[in-house]
């Protein structure tokens, strides 16, 4: 399943009778030239489907063009989708071939794992501390502890598109809570429940994080809370896409900073074959053996 980043120009071309197509969606200025050329070749009566495919093959290395073609199979209702259709010259099959060629190059939409080597140098000290903590929690060095997060991801709207969620999270659409969207940031985290954080109340877990923040000499952006539910869910699902691992492990849960209208804190976890679960039922004073917290911090961009 591929998605197109918001702001990308998306054009749907379709064949109708003998008249070749019209752009149906134009969301920004990107890729205008590419689609003008394709539409122009068609409008000028090119009868050789190879001509169109040859042009598509020339531009598939352009990341902007990739993002547009990526939208062909987007599930998101709030992002315009693009379908390049060919009509009587049977370019459909050839366009499908071009799409197959670029499918592995599509950029993730909201959460992108950043390898240790690609983390900006100004965050090198922070990366070192999170990597050491991750190693202590048996996280492989191949698993990212830094993610590039794009603004706008919210639990109700986007989580079920990002990965497997129980009932596609339809069960929580009527829940009353502030579904705070993500902000542009680098998120550092350890994809494991923090050692010693289960069987603790919220106050005890908060104290544990504060002590760890001080011990590691991290800035105030780090370990100062449990994370908003949308951010935490996005990281869990992005980690699953990247590694196939369903964290929190062993069907445990993690607390978040998001509360329902009844003041119950939303938890995430029980991530099994049915998908990620979101629940709220325990109070802050409960110390439960299967509910812990992540070590998490953000650097705004």
pLDDT for 19-29, tens place per residue?
333 333 333 33
Find the Cα–Cα–Cα–Cα dihedral 85, 86, 87, 89, rounded to 10°.
-160
- 294/205 Cα distance (integer angstroms): 10
Give the highest mean pLDDT range of 21-35, 90-104, 199-213, 280-294: 199-213
**For position 281, what pLDDT does the model report?**
78
pLDDT value at residue 98: 43
Model pLDDT, residue 30: 39
Query: What's the mean pLDDT in 70-94?
Result: 37
**Sheet arrangement for strand 275-279:** 275-279, 265-272, 253-259, 291-292
What's the rounded mean pLDDT across residues 271-286?
91
Q: Binning pLDDT at 50, 70 and 90, where does residue 251 land?
A: very high
pLDDT tens figures, 160-206: 888 999 999 999 999 999 999 999 999 999 999 999 999 999 999 99
Under 8 Å between Cβ of 189 and 130: yes
* Residue 218 near residue 94, CB atoms below 8 Å: no
Closest CA to 2 of 57, 59, 82: 82
Most confident stretch, 77-81, 88-92, 244-248:
244-248
In this structure, are residues 110 and 286 in contact, taking their beta carbons and an 8 Å threshold?
no
Residues 105-146: pLDDT tens digits? 334 478 999 999 999 999 999 999 999 999 999 999 999 999
**Higher pLDDT residue, 56 or 202?**
202
Assign residue 168 a region (left: φ > 0; alpha: ψ between -120 and 50; beta: otherwise): left
Pairing of strands 253-259, 185-189: unpaired
Two structure tokens written together for 91: 């370019």
Burial 120-143 (b: 16+ CB within 10 A, else e): eeeeeebbebbbebbeeeebeeeb
For the cut 50, the answer to whether the pLDDT of residue 288 exceeds it is: yes
pLDDT at 97: 44
Residue 154: pLDDT over 50 = yes
Instruction: State yes or no: pLDDT of 51 exceeds 70.
Output: no
Question: Does residue 100 have a pLDDT over 80?
Answer: no
In this prediction, what percent of the chain has a pLDDT beyond 70?
64
CB neighbourhood size of 180 (10 A): 14
What share of the chain in percent tops pLDDT 90? 56
DSSP assignment of the chain: -----TT-----B-EETTEE-------SSTTHHHHHHHHHHHHTT---HHHHHHHHHHHTTSHHHHHHHHGGG---TTS----B--GGG-HHHHHHHHHHHHGGGPPPSSEEEE-GGGS-GGGHHHHHHHHHHHHHTT--TTS-SEEEE-TT--HHHHHHHHS-BGGGGGGGTT--B--PPP-SEEEEE-SSPPTT-SS--HHHHHHHHHHHHHHHT--TTBSSS---HHHHHHHHHHHHHHH---SSGGG-EEEEEEEBTTSPEEEEEEEETTEEEEE----TT---TTEE---EEEEE-
């Amino acid at each position: 399943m591929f998605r197109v980043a918001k702001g990308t120009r998306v054009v749907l071309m379709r064949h109708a009778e003998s008249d070749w197509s019209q752009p149906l969606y134009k969301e920004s200025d990107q890729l205008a030239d590419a689609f003008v050329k394709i539409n122009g070749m068609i409008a000028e009566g090119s009868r050789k489907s190879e001509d169109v495919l040859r042009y598509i093959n020339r531009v598939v290395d352009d990341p902007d063009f990739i993002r547009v073609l990526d939208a062909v199979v987007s599930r998101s209702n709030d992002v315009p989708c693009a379908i390049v259709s060919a009509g009587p010259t049977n370019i459909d099959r050839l366009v499908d071939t071009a799409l197959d060629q670029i499918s592995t190059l599509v950029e993730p939409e909201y959460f992108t794992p950043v390898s240790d080597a690609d983390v900006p140098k100004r965050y090198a000290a922070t990366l070192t501390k999170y990597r050491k903590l991750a190693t202590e929690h048996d996280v492989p060095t191949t698993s990212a502890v830094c993610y590039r997060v794009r603004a706008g991801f919210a639990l109700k709207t986007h989580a079920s598109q990002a990965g497997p969620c129980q009932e596609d999270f339809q069960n929580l659409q009527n829940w009353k809570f502030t579904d705070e969207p993500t902000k542009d940031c680098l998120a550092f985290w350890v994809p494991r429940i923090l050692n010693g954080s289960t069987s603790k109340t919220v106050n005890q877990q908060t104290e544990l994080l504060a002590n760890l923040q001080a011990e590691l000499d991290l800035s105030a952006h780090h370990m100062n809370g449990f994370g908003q539910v949308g951010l935490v869910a996005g990281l869990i699902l992005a980690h699953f896409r990247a590694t196939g691992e369903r964290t929190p492990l062993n069907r445990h849960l993690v607390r978040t900073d998001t509360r329902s209208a009844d003041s119950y804190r939303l938890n995430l976890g029980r991530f099994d074959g049915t998908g990620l679960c979101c629940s709220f039922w325990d109070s802050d004073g409960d110390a439960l053996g299967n509910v812990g917290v992540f070590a998490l911090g953000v650097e705004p961009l």
